[in-house]
Structure 1
Amino acid sequence: MCDDIHEGLIHDPTVSRRTFGLLSAAAAGGLATSAYAADVVEKDVEVKTADGAADAALFYPAGKGPWPGVLIWCDFLSLRPVFREMGRRLAGEGYVVLVPNFYYRSRKAPVFDGAFDFANQEHRAKITPMRALLTNEKIEADAAAYIDFLDAQPQTNKTKKVGVQGYCMGGPLTVRTAGVRPARVGAAATFHSGALVTTEAASPHLVIPKTKAAYLIATAQNDDKQRPTEKDELKKLFADNKLKATVDVYAADHGWCVKGSPVYNEAEAERAWGELLKLYKANLA
């Protein structure tokens, strides 16, 4: 899991229960709610897991399919409007996209009301107990349930591989997902990920040899300064296991891909998005 919490990672003024409720109402009716969503169907769904039912957002192109499936792991604050927008945008490119609330054991999304300040200890204290429930075993069980849910959708092309992508703490979750379903996951992408190489016995990087996916590791420049050897260790690990991978440091800080973050960097976010689409086009076959 992501143990690195960076001040100011996300400040999303759109995160409120009223806003989220309005978006959810539109989604329940399959209505488009974004400029990216002209030909996209959006639905609020529940995914059955070993511990209950995870609330999630499902997106897929309008019209005839089927299309490859993609799972998105959000950052520290889980499912909220900015990640719904990502899901709609990706679905518009020809994918069936599932964006779950990984804190479902504690609270339905959005899990935090109002703007979130990582420098505020009271704000962080409200999320920490929810996060503590996400053990590696729980994450892996949930990942399997999410992929099985995608495969059960009539819009999903089950002859194609599945993609998975994650942001911040969603980075390690992405790697673990590729290990849970190595025969299904054909591409995995992380953006400003939490630590992927640690000294812990359950370090995420130890899962990589069990996977068969092609990888895109997009690292923030300030994360690279904190973990300067990680990129080289990952490159060697991918090469040793004959896995296709692009490991790159972006000229932007942790959180740069997420609109609403004070460090959002549109140019680098769009570059990362373009690389993501190349990864999926080449490997979800």
Structure 2
Amino acid sequence: MTSVQGTAVDVPTEDGVADAYLVHPGDGGPHPGVLLFMDAFGIRPHLRSMADRLASAGYTVLLPNVFHRHGRTPVFDLPEFIDPAARPEIWQQISPVMRSLTPDLAMRDAGAYLRWMADSPLVADGPVALTGYCMGARLALRTAGAYPDRVAAAAGFHGGQLATDAPDSPHLAAGNITAELYFGHADDDPSMPPEQMKILEDALTAAGVRHRCEVYPGARHGYTQADTAAYQKEGAERHWAVLLDLLERTF
């Protein structure tokens, strides 16, 4: 593990500026890029620490505020420990903001994040990898399909609504994807039931996408997030192992 350097950056998009956290190995040289898509709670100390851990393994990591249209970080006033069951009003704040980030807007932004990384002297030339959590897993899947030339690998953890009957369901991007994909599903996740898991698996297989989908036993939606009530240490550590393995193979 190497020492890392993190800083706040602003990423210009077609709809204004997205604030972001950028972290990279302390040598200041170019390293393979990883675009980290946040969960719905947004950029906060825990997500920055996850980005730091990735960077310490030798990557330049960009963590953008995908809700930038609603203000700079922090978009929501969150407790240090997030338990939506104890604080249901948290979702009353977050849900409308999530819904306002349409697939079209999200992919327009993803293009801006990828362009910014391509222009950064801290990011090595060539395609980047993606990792996403909860709603970020949807963003990773969509981005891999929307920008196949820029994405070499993508991982999603405890993603919800990845394969619905909606006309713009994320799984419908499968035919455009050239990256290797990994999904770590929570087995206790109403937003990603077994029937959706099967639709996603079948779509990726039919499209010839290199992929692996696994169900994490006893894990709840959000199992990687140590500052939430959904955290499961076993699942979180397994996620680190498979993610770092995917990145090592990719780069």
Q: Deviations over 1:96-125 (max 9, x none)?
A: 100011111112112222424423443222
Aligned match of 2:70 in 106, 109, 122? Answer: 106
TM-score, normalised to structure 1, is 0.82
Secondary structure at 2:231 match in 1: coil
TM-score, normalised to structure 2, is 0.93
Q: Distance in 2 between matches of 1:65 and 1:231?
A: 40
Which residues of 2 match residues 1-285 of structure 1 at below 5 A?
39-63=3-27, 65-115=29-79, 116-119=82-85, 120-159=87-126, 161-223=127-189, 227-251=193-217, 252-284=219-251
Distance 1:128 1:225, change over 3 A: closer
Secondary structure at 1:274 match in 2: helix
Distance 1:199 1:225, change over 3 A: closer
Larger deviation, residues 141-150 vs 59-68 = 59-68
Which segments of 5 or more consecutive residues in structure 1 lack a partner in the other structure?
Answer: 1-35
Paired residue type of 1:215: L
Deviation at 1:132, TM superposition (A): 2.9
Runs of 4+ in structure 1 over 3 Å off: none
Percent identical residues = 37
Indicate if the aligned counterparts of 1:78 and 1:111 stay in contact, CA closer than 8 A: yes
Q: Deviations over 1:121-180 (max 9, x none)?
A: 432222233223201110000000011111111011113x21011111111111111122
Paired residue type of 1:83: L
Q: Distance in 2 between matches of 1:203 and 1:238?
A: 13
Indicate if the aligned counterparts of 1:224 and 1:249 stay in contact, CA closer than 8 A: no
Which segments of 5 or more consecutive residues in structure 2 lack a partner in the other structure?
Answer: none
Distance 1:123 1:239, change over 3 A: closer
- Larger proportion of strand: 2
Q: Distance in 2 between matches of 1:226 and 1:134?
A: 20
Q: Higher RCO, 1 or 2 (CA under 8 Å, sep at least 6)?
A: 1
Indicate if the aligned counterparts of 1:220 and 1:249 stay in contact, CA closer than 8 A: yes
Distance 1:117 1:269, change over 3 A: closer
Q: Deviations over 1:79-109 (max 9, x none)?
A: 1111000111101111110001111111211
